[in-house]
Structure 1
């Protein structure tokens, strides 16, 4: 029998509002994913704005500098995303089972984890920036601005950690709109600050870093304040603020492997970046533009796939396994369709999209960027599929398989990048990542379709 805290009041009303355990599946997935999609567009917009402003108004070296920091800065963020994803998994299962008293305790424990994580990542980002940049073989002409960016962004990443925590908690309740509103605010503020720091105060790459962290910290504070004001059932008292060993253990059981896996993936991408760096700053710029375009091109189906984690978590908590299987089939069909559409559009418009980041006179970088974009676009369907299956497995708490899948993907990316770069030059690097997608998909796809995850006992 489900342990509802009470049969009326805001807790139950909010449960019905965000409940994905009943109703039309396709409609629920699309409606939940739409705010995530819009939010991802704004996230990309302000990340892309950094590159566009630096590339257009400062120069190709500044663009290459921020590109050289990409894997390091994103690595820190990726660890935070992995750990905070555990909040969505645990809280969505508790919410799906109607255990609202435990939801409050889980939120309190999530705050403790976020605080410690933000401090640790900040320490690594600030003090590890220069050694990491040197280890990656960053070209000397872009070394100093690259180090400054990582020190500023990484040292103050705690704002991003708490925003991700709030976003993960809200998504677990089926609310993907509130994180969107604050992400839009953060994105617009970041763009304004980018322009001010670069064009008015001539801050260059460090100025872009300051613009990013200021907007992130302010967004995190406002999102947290609104979350507790909007959802009274999430407010925890002194008693609930105490560490709950069982909840903490479950969050760390899921979050630590995901965080470590994301960290390892980022380390792998750092190795790839090191290989790219060996070809000079022009190829670094090509890699930067190609990566940005891939993020833009995959945003539609990536958010639809990621939304399935919440759907799977709630239905796993409610023991509706057939609904999870039905939802996975519908999600996969939509993701495949959108990924194929993205492939066609990007292949046809590769040159025009690359021009958003570069000046027309930089012909060699433009040609290289278009080449990378077209190569990777041919494999988007595999990327979409692995996102669906990994999201489903993450939602039901099967972290082990997602870790195995990610490790296989990582080894393929790193090993093939090094090997193919030696055999055929930098173009070989553009093929290494898609091959990794395919091999990782085999792992997660086989396990999910094998249905062994049904035998797991949900967290209760």
Structure 2
């Protein structure tokens, strides 16, 4: 928390309370991620959708009740989060009883060493990627905070608006992952390539649409969330600048799913770690000349580079290894 150089003791205490509660029950978040991966990869994405939606709706209901009605404020937000996560876990467990996929699992049995080795080999690169991405984002957030409260507010609201592209891309990435892994395992390489092309077409069109929306309609969109006239120009700058990278971010996420489906998690991790890390020096240099807009350009430019390189890498890899 000290990383963000917060001056208000009340905010610091609220942040500590939130972390104590949510991290104390973080095991449910871990379990939910495991269930999501297993069910999606096995083609049961509908079950994942129902469980996740149940948690989201419950969180939407509990947040205002606990925060405002019960006057628990930040603690209420934390409690709403963990209660929703616990319910999602229970829904997953209910589904697990119905699916043959989990019938032979014995939780107390000794795990297979070969399975552990394979899981670590596949899971270690993206886990490092995710952790470093979070650390880099925290440093970027600290840099943004140096430009004042308006910049922080713009980034928080803008990133929520921007999520319409990457959250949809995440969903298609999961489907591409499952489709790729199933057909790759069956040695049906032609279907792997066709599936990737089809997925990229859908995700590419969505990314192009969101890019156009953010670039050409930033004012009406941002004003739906913040009405203050002194903040609106900053919000417009954010959406326009990030708008240029939405297409590339979407195809990067989709291609990551294809690589993961092949069991090749290292290439997307390398690209993400290298060029996400590059955001820090880029943001420092560009912000010196462009102010906080330099930070937005650093994020956007790095996303463009990541998308271009990862897609090129997959195309070259598939030509060498996936010729039917």
Other-structure match for 2:298: 432
Q: Among residues 73, 76, 79, which one is paired with 1:204 in the alignment?
A: 73
Is the Cα contact below 8 Å between 2:169 and 2:254 reproduced in 1? no
Other-structure match for 1:294: 162
Other-structure match for 1:313: 181
Deviation at 1:284, TM superposition (A): 0.9
Distance 1:239 1:424 in 2: 55
Q: 1:206 to 1:420 in 2, by over 3 A?
A: farther
Q: 1:421 to 1:206 in 2, by over 3 A?
A: farther
Q: Among residues 232, 235, 245, which one is paired with 2:113 in the alignment?
A: 245
Other-structure match for 2:316: 450
Distance 2:319 2:126 in 1: 17
How do residues 28-427 of structure 1 correspond to structure 2 at under 5 angstroms? 133-140=1-8, 142-227=11-96, 229-238=97-106, 241-358=109-226, 360=227, 362-427=228-293
Is the Cα contact below 8 Å between 1:409 and 1:440 reproduced in 2? yes
Is the Cα contact below 8 Å between 1:408 and 1:436 reproduced in 2? no
Distance 2:100 2:170 in 1: 31
Distance 2:72 2:244 in 1: 38
Distance 1:390 1:208 in 2: 32
The CA deviation string for residues 336-369 of structure 1, in whole angstroms up to 9 with x for no partner, is: 11111122223344233323433x2x32223312
Distance 1:192 1:166 in 2: 24
Is the Cα contact below 8 Å between 2:39 and 2:45 reproduced in 1? yes
Q: 1:147 to 1:454 in 2, by over 3 A?
A: farther
What value does the CA root-mean-square deviation take over the aligned residues? 2.1
Is the Cα contact below 8 Å between 2:40 and 2:174 reproduced in 1? no
Where structure 2 has 5 or more consecutive residues not aligned to the other structure, the ranges are: none
Deviation at 1:452, TM superposition (A): 6.1
Where structure 1 has 5 or more consecutive residues not aligned to the other structure, the ranges are: 1-132
Q: 1:241 to 1:353 in 2, by over 3 A?
A: farther
Is the Cα contact below 8 Å between 1:347 and 1:373 reproduced in 2? yes
| Count of aligned pairs between the two proteins | 321
* TM-score normalised by structure 1 residue count: 0.66
Other-structure match for 1:92: none
Deviation at 1:215, TM superposition (A): 0.8
Ranked by relative contact order (alpha carbons within 8 Å, sequence separation 6 or more), the top structure is 1
Is the Cα contact below 8 Å between 2:169 and 2:203 reproduced in 1? yes
Runs of 4+ with >4 A deviation: 237-240, 452-456
Is the Cα contact below 8 Å between 1:272 and 1:418 reproduced in 2? no
Q: Is the partner of 1:171 in helix, strand or coil?
A: helix
Deviation at 1:237, TM superposition (A): 4.9
The CA deviation string for residues 271-307 of structure 1, in whole angstroms up to 9 with x for no partner, is: 1011011122221111101111110244334422332
* TM-score normalised by structure 2 residue count: 0.91
Distance 1:217 1:233 in 2: 22
Is the Cα contact below 8 Å between 2:136 and 2:276 reproduced in 1? yes
Q: Is the partner of 1:363 in helix, strand or coil?
A: coil
Q: Is the partner of 1:451 in helix, strand or coil?
A: helix
